[in-house]
Amino acid sequence: MRLAVEGSLSELGRAQERLLFERAPHDDPELAGAVREIVAQIRERGDAALRELARRYDGAALEALEVPRQRWERALEALDRPVREGLERAAAHIARFHQAQLPPALELEVAPGVVLGRRVEPLRAVGAYAPGGRAAYPSTVLMCVVPAKVAGVDEIVVCSPPGPTGEPADAVLAACALARADRLFAVGGAGAVAALAFGTETVPRVDAIVGPGNRYVTEAKRQLAGRVLIDCPAGPSELLVIAEDGAEGADPALIAVELCAQAEHDPDAAVACVATSPALARNVWSALETRLPREPRREIIEAALAARGAILACDGLDDALAFAERYAPEHLLLLTRDPRGRLERVRAAGTVFLGPHSSVAFGDYLTGANHVLPTGGLARSFSGLSVLNFLRVATYQEVGPEAAAALAEATRVLAHAEGLPAHAAAAEARRPS
């Protein structure tokens, strides 16, 4: 087994720090150029370019880009009962948690006769991206579509890469039916993001694009962020485990299975463990090495570990938490003596799992918190997907006649101070004659 970084946290070299902390895909000029070309092709050639990309990257010859709703419904009916029940349970939890996040309307009289208000309105149309390729992600369909439904979005368009049959996986189709999406297109990668941003002959233009993806998807979202609302830079999966020596649940075997679970997503996944003693770090390494041969997706896990995997020892919990703030992971698992008490120290993580029973896998599927989260160290700036991503806030202002007279002089003074005499005149026009 080979890890990208191992040893002592205090002895990290400059190259090792860059490998750990500089994970954002836009640092790769070759990737940025390739995505820029794909975006240009979609903008210029629309559906024809989408079909060409499907042939090149997915090995699919698409007769139609859109998958009919009847096909989704058949997939849902044919879904194994335990899988359907699991998706239904997940959808119910997601709806409940996101319903609680809806912000109320607001109206406030900030001064006599000056009334300000806030109206919360759903977006007209959103695009949801569900990854494909190495695995199908019906859970991601639920994480994107259900909150949009809760918000009241008019039209929800799902894009997911086609398989050899020319359609996304049956589980993705079934999830679209279960979540009550409006349209589904068998398009993937950066091309799907561009199609949703610009619109094509078939794919509608949307107001916002949400959902995780590989490096190409994340880079396309970054490049198009000024043209369409983007949720967050949700790229390949990330996990940081902080393990405190002597804490209940800081079990090397448990840590190993959590690291494998996130690494199996993608060779570009980033997984790390910071342990508060060299002995615990060595035990985690041994547990991971023991577990790897039993993993069905061993090749993917090993590639991820070799590229960005890390097991590090530190001098104490304070050092580990300081590292977590710099690392800013998508998922942070706290296996410490008082995980809830340590939560206030965490200022940069997409979502935090507290204690040994809180597997990250539960959050991936069933807890109801969203699994579309910022990656690449950008959890220090971005929030994960929530119902707020599907809403816009519009304010309104009403000023009565007496309040207008009271505001006029101060507005005139400020307008002249900024060199805007017409503003001053507009305010003075409200003075009583």
Given the residues 238, 244, 258, 330, select the one marked as catalytic: 330
**Burial of residue 110 (number of CB atoms within 10 Å: 0-12, 13-18, 19+):** exposed
CB 204 within 8 A of CB 227: no
Given the residues 98, 265, 331, 371, select the one marked as catalytic: 331
CB 137 within 8 A of CB 236: no
Place of tokens 């977006």: 123
Query: Mapping DSSP to helix (H, G, I), strand (E, B) and coil, where does residue 348 land?
Result: coil
Structure-block tokens of residue 209: 């694009």
Closest CA to 212 of 330, 324, 93, 302: 330
Catalytic, 331? Answer yes
CB 190 within 8 A of CB 220: yes
Closest CA to 190 of 225, 220, 157: 220
Q: State how far the alpha carbon of 272 is from the alpha carbons of 162, 254, 321, 423, in Å.
A: 32, 14, 13, 57
Structure-block tokens of residue 316: 């104490």
Query: Cα–Cα distance between 280 and 312 in angstroms, integer?
Result: 10
Residue 165 φ/ψ, nearest 5 degrees: -75, -10
Instruction: Count Cβ atoms below 10 Å from residue 258 Cβ, excluding itself.
Output: 22
Q: State how far the alpha carbon of 45 is from the alpha carbons of 36, 140, 414, in Å.
A: 14, 29, 51
Query: Cα–Cα distance between 263 and 238 in angstroms, integer?
Result: 8
Query: Cα–Cα distance between 68 and 238 in angstroms, integer?
Result: 35
Query: Mapping DSSP to helix (H, G, I), strand (E, B) and coil, where does residue 404 land?
Result: helix
Q: Where in 16-124 does DSSP place strands (E)?
A: 106-111, 114-122
Residues forming beta bridges with residue 333, ordered by sequence position: 241, 353
Q: Which active-site residues does the annotation give?
A: 330-331
